[in-house]
């Protein structure tokens, strides 16, 4: 293993770090980073776009589609999980609000155990107001082309959740670290208090855990266990980061002008995707139980 | 970035599994690893000698010291496979990870000749005399005294949490050789044979098992001056340089995942439906946390391959996730097993020990968080 970025990856990071606009990502060819360079490059693009709060479905378009094997996609793609209770029929309602739905040209649809592709004219989108850092919509899928089994998309979606989450978390932690260093109360920076330091340090450690797990998941995108673990851990780390960055930032943290909410509200939105943390956790166990073990248990059984 | 094991590393893992299969005492488990009876110590040494003969115990050491200059990744593979198999090496992590490297760094030629060969051949068993009743997280406040008297140091003091002291033949002992100093000044390292007169090892009773923790008393112990590692009074610098190696690469994630596997087996045997959503969710989050710890452990190993300095933020970050992981896995084992988890030798019993000590041992969780705070540039308190 070599976990240092290659010169090409370092150059990619430098280039993407200057971009805070979806159109510029598309114009620069960065939406096809997975196809053109590899899965880690896709994660790097998503990390930076998340930190820069780029508006648009970056993680879906850059990671989820290509890692699921769908590379011929229009510039904007939404991710839809159909409500299994609706069954297969002429009109399927998404199981929840769909992030970025009002701006998407196409939708990758997880329909039970199948992956489908619906174009904009194949769906009905009802925009929904939301405070959670993105435009949302209720999506009804009228028709969609079958692309194959659903598991590749389910895994890829989980990788996308983890990669976006770690980019958001590390940006929120960086903002918070600067704040607690500059903000003085009781005669000293509040970041000098261990009670504050440890909250920020723990958030950083969990965000870094998500980062390296997301990168591993992208690399091993056919591994159910790693991909589900990445999404489950990302959800937990996101919740911790949301709570603790706001706690040490104080009231200023809830204002739009200050900016912390840009990252934290998106984190809370991500936590709701694909069934959320509990569904990811159940998938982790199912995958683990299906794995072959090299050894009998190193603990005696009853 | 390349997150794949190389063909050579995969082959090494296969070779190692075959070796373990051939040499591990049948039925070996993490309970025997604590060596509660002499036969277990004999089994550990026999296993280590077999590893040494195959060059598997210290593959990452330089060739002149009995290794073959393999990458730290092979050391990580050794750790993962052996922890998954109940760690039949016993406490070799101390010798192999940091005591040996400390001797390479600061030892005399005689010390290198005597100790490094024995370690790499699997003939040695060490403990470390670091903590004292009044010097835990603040290790530099230690008071065990070593007073020079001709060709020996006379050592007096008490060490605590000297894991595996009951079975060790040597102790890497931190002592204060300059009584006029405090803090990190005036500390030296002595490589102490455990059969010297005046050393007494006592078990510290605990609910989980015997022999896992000890206190070690030193009363007028005559330690030859030839046992001094490095320069007198300069021991802290050696400790600082090599302590980052102490737990880097130890595959606690692997052990914790195998404990969860064992919990699933136990629970299933007891009729618990582990696929029931509320149970699966507890287990799933525990496994996921292990995977986060694994990913960070790899990042810390990588950091070690590219930076041999003592300031390695990923080592602290890794441990800040790994310690709580141990606790979480213990909670999961207990919750899933229910009252059955209270039985002697259940996976929950074993893991509760790991979960309680994991965030404390070898630099507490709070110390790791302080180090991360420094890395983030937060102001000192």
Give all strands (DSSP E) within chain B, no chain letters: 126-129, 145-149, 152-160, 170-176, 187-193, 199-203, 214-224, 228-229
End-to-end CA distance of chain A: 39
> A5 vs B262: CB contact, 8 Å cut-off?
no
Minimum distance, in Å, between the CA of residue B301 and any CA atom of chain A: 10
The whole-number pLDDT of residue A302 equals 44
> In sequence order, which residues have a C-beta less than 8 Å from that of residue A174 and are 6 or more positions away?
none
Count CB neighbours of A23 within 10 A: 12
pLDDT, tens digit (0-9, with 9 covering 90-100), for B224-252: 999 999 999 999 999 887 776 655 667 88
Q: Is A180 on the interface with B (CB under 8 A)?
A: yes
The whole-number pLDDT of residue A65 equals 98
Q: Which residues of A touch B317 (CB under 8 A)?
A: 204-205, 208-209
Mean pLDDT of chain A: 94
Give all strands (DSSP E) within chain A, no chain letters: 77-81, 92-93, 98-99, 106-111, 114-119, 123-128, 136-141, 145-149, 184-185, 188-189
Minimum distance, in Å, between the CA of residue A255 and any CA atom of chain B: 23
> B5 vs A1: CB contact, 8 Å cut-off?
yes
Please give the backbone phi and psi of residue A174, each rounded to the nearest 5 degrees, phi first. Answer: -65, -45
What residues of chain A, 277 to 296, have a C-beta less than 8 Å from chain B? 277-278, 280-286, 288-289, 293-295
Q: Which residues of B touch A193 (CB under 8 A)?
A: 381
Q: Which residues of B touch A202 (CB under 8 A)?
A: 320, 369
> A201 vs B370: CB contact, 8 Å cut-off?
yes
Is the ipTM higher than 0.90? The answer is yes
Per-residue pLDDT for A301 more than 60? no
pLDDT, tens digit (0-9, with 9 covering 90-100), for B330-370: 999 999 999 989 988 888 988 888 888 889 887 889 999 99
pLDDT, tens digit (0-9, with 9 covering 90-100), for A240-252: 999 999 999 999 9
Return the closest-CA partner of residue A126 out of A158, A91, A150, A84. Answer: A91
pLDDT band at residue B206 under the 50/70/90 scheme:
confident
Per-residue pLDDT for A197 more than 80? yes
Paired tokens of A6: 């290659």
Return the closest-CA partner of residue B229 out of B126, B121, B348, B82. Answer: B126
More confident residue, B160 or B26: B160
pTM over 0.80: yes
Mean pLDDT of A111-126: 94
The whole-number pLDDT of residue B137 equals 79
Mean pLDDT of B285-291: 98
pLDDT above 70 coverage of chain B, percent? 96
Per-residue pLDDT for A298 more than 80? no
* DSSP states of B311-323: --HHHHHHHHHHH
pLDDT above 90 coverage of chain B, percent? 66
Minimum distance, in Å, between the CA of residue A216 and any CA atom of chain B: 7
> B1 vs A233: CB contact, 8 Å cut-off?
no
The whole-number pLDDT of residue A296 equals 57
- Chain A and chain B share a number of CB contacts under 8 A equal to 214
pLDDT, tens digit (0-9, with 9 covering 90-100), for A68-106: 999 899 999 999 999 766 654 555 777 789 999 999 999
> B376 vs A200: CB contact, 8 Å cut-off?
yes
> In sequence order, which residues have a C-beta less than 8 Å from that of residue B359 and are 6 or more positions away?
B323, B324, B326, B327, B365
């Amino acid at each position: 293993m070599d976990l240092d970025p290659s010169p090409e990856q370092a150059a990619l990071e430098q280039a993407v770090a200057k971009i805070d606009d979806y159109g510029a990502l598309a114009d620069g060819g960065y939406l096809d980073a997975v196809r053109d360079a590899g899965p880690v490059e896709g994660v790097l693009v998503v990390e930076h776009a998340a930190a820069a709060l780029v508006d648009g479905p970056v993680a879906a378009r850059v990671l989820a589609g290509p890692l699921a094997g769908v590379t011929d996609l229009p510039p904007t793609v939404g991710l839809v999980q159909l409500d299994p209770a609706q069954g297969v029929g002429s009109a399927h309602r998404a199981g929840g609000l769909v992030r970025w739905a009002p701006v998407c040209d196409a939708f990758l649809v997880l329909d039970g155990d199948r992956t489908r592709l619906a174009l904009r004219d194949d769906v009905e989108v009802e925009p929904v107001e939301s405070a959670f850092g993105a435009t949302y919509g209720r999506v009804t899928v009228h028709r969609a082309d079958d692309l194959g089994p659903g598991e590749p998309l389910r895994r890829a979606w989980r990788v996308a959740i983890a990669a976006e989450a770690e980019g958001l978390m590390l940006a929120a932690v960086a903002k918070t670290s600067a704040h607690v260093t500059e903000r003085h109360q009781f005669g000293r920076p509040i970041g000098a208090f261990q009670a504050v330091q440890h909250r920020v340090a723990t958030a950083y450690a969990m965000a870094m855990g998500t980062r390296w797990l997301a990168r591993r998941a992208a690399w091993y995108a056919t591994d159910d266990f790693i991909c589900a673990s990445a999404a489950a851990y990302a959800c937990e780390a996101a919740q911790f980061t949301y709570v603790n960055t706001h706690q040490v930032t104080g009231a200023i943290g809830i204002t739009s002008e200050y900016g912390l909410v840009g990252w934290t509200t998106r984190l809370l939105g991500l936590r709701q995707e694909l069934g959320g943390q509990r569904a990811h956790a159940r998938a982790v166990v199912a995958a683990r139980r299906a794995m072959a073990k090299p050894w009998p248990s190193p603990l005696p059984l009853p | 970035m390349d997150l794949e094991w190389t063909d050579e590393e995969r082959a090494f893992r296969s070779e190692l599994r075959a070796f373990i299969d051939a040499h591990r005492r049948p039925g070996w488990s993490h309970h025997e690893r604590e060596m509660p009876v002499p036969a277990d110590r004999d089994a550990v040494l026999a296993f280590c000698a077999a590893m040494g003969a195959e060059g598997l115990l210290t593959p990452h050491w330089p060739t002149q010291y009995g290794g073959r200059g393999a990458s730290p990744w092979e050391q990580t593979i050794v750790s993962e496979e052996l922890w998954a198999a109940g760690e039949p090496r016993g406490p070799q992590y101390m010798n192999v990870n940091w005591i040996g490297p400390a001797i390479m760094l600061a030892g005399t030629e005689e010390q290198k000749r005597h100790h490094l060969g024995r370690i790499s051949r699997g003939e040695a068993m060490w403990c470390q005399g670091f903590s004292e009743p009044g010097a835990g997280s603040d290790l530099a406040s230690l008071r065990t005294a070593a007073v020079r008297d001709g060709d020996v140091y006379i050592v007096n003091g008490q060490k605590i949490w000297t894991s595996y002291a009951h079975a060790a033949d040597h102790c890497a002992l931190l002592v204060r050789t300059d009584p006029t100093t405090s803090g990190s000044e005036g500390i030296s390292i002595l490589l102490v044979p455990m059969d010297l007169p005046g050393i007494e090892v006592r078990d510290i009773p605990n609910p989980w098992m015997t022999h896992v923790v000890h206190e070690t008393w030193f009363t007028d112990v005559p330690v030859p001056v030839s046992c001094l590692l490095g320069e007198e009074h300069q021991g802290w610098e050696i400790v600082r340089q090599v302590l980052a190696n102490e737990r880097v690469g130890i595959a606690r994630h692997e052990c914790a995942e195998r404990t969860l596997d064992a919990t699933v087996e136990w629970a299933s045997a007891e009729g618990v439906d582990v696929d029931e959503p509320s149970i699966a969710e507890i287990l799933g989050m525990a496994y996921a946390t292990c995977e986060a710890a694994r990913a960070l452990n790899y990042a810390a190993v990588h950091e070690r391959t590219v930076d041999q300095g003592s300031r390695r933020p990923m080592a602290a970050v890794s441990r800040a996730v790994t310690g709580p992981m141990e606790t979480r896995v213990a909670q999961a084992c207990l919750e899933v097993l229910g009252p059955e988890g209270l039985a002697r030798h259940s996976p929950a019993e074993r893991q509760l020990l790991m979960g309680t000590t994991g965030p404390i041992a070898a630099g507490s969780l709070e110390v790791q968080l302080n180090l991360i705070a420094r890395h983030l540039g937060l102001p000192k308190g």
